[in-house]
Amino acid sequence: MGWHYRKSIKVGPFRINLSRHGVGHSYGNRRFHVSTTHDGRRHVTVRLPGGFQLGKTFGSRRYRRHY
């Protein structure tokens, strides 16, 4: 069984996300949100009225070699 850790710190309009994998950050509001993951990917989310949500991820995941 693996272990998980996640902590989020809000600094003004920004949020710093800490996890065991690294540090990411995000900013935005209810309708528009941009987040950057620990491995450099960016995810943009737009929420529309009526419960619709559109999301797009930019960048590719960088795989680490585990020896």
pTM: 0.66
Per-residue pLDDT of the chain in tens (67 residues, 90 and over written 9): 677 888 999 998 899 999 888 899 999 988 999 999 888 899 999 999 999 999 999 987 666 665 5
Q: Are 45 and 33 in contact (CB under 8 A)?
A: yes
What pLDDT, on the 0 to 100 scale, is given for residue 38? 85
Distances (CA, A) of 60 to 18, 26, 35: 20, 18, 14
In this structure, which amino acid lies at residue 45?
T
CA–CA dist 39, 46 (Å, integer): 22
Contact at 8 Å (CB) between 6 and 18? yes
Q: Which amino acid, 1?
A: M
Q: Where are the domains of the chain?
A: 6-58
The reported pLDDT for the residue numbered 45 is 94
